[in-house]
Amino acid sequence: MYTATTVDEWTAILHITVRWGFGSIRTLFIKHLAPIATEIDKIVLGRQYGIDQWIHEAFIA
């Protein structure tokens, strides 16, 4: 259903959703990116976009 398949593609979507204030799409992003993001991705993106759960989980892993 979604054509985005890489971390970079989903990150671009996240950037747009945050910029335009689309909270529900941000939630969708997090759901789809979580399984393919590395721990480093989660730390960087978590800090950049305020996804606190990812930061915590990445440091524990």
Axis crossing angle, helix 7-20 with helix 39-49, rounded to the nearest 10: 10
The shares of helix, strand and coil residues in the chain, as percent rounded to the nearest 5, are 75, 0, 25
Number of domain units in the chain: 1
The widest CA-to-CA distance across the chain, in whole angstroms, is: 32
Q: Is 1 inside any structural domain?
A: no
pLDDT at residue 5, as a whole number: 83
pLDDT, residue 1, reads 63
* pLDDT score recorded for residue 24: 83
One pLDDT digit (tens) per residue for the chain, 61 residues? 677 789 999 889 888 888 998 888 888 888 888 999 999 999 999 999 999 999 998 888 7
| pTM for the whole structure | 0.78
Q: Which domain holds residue 56?
A: 7-60
pLDDT of residue 39: 94
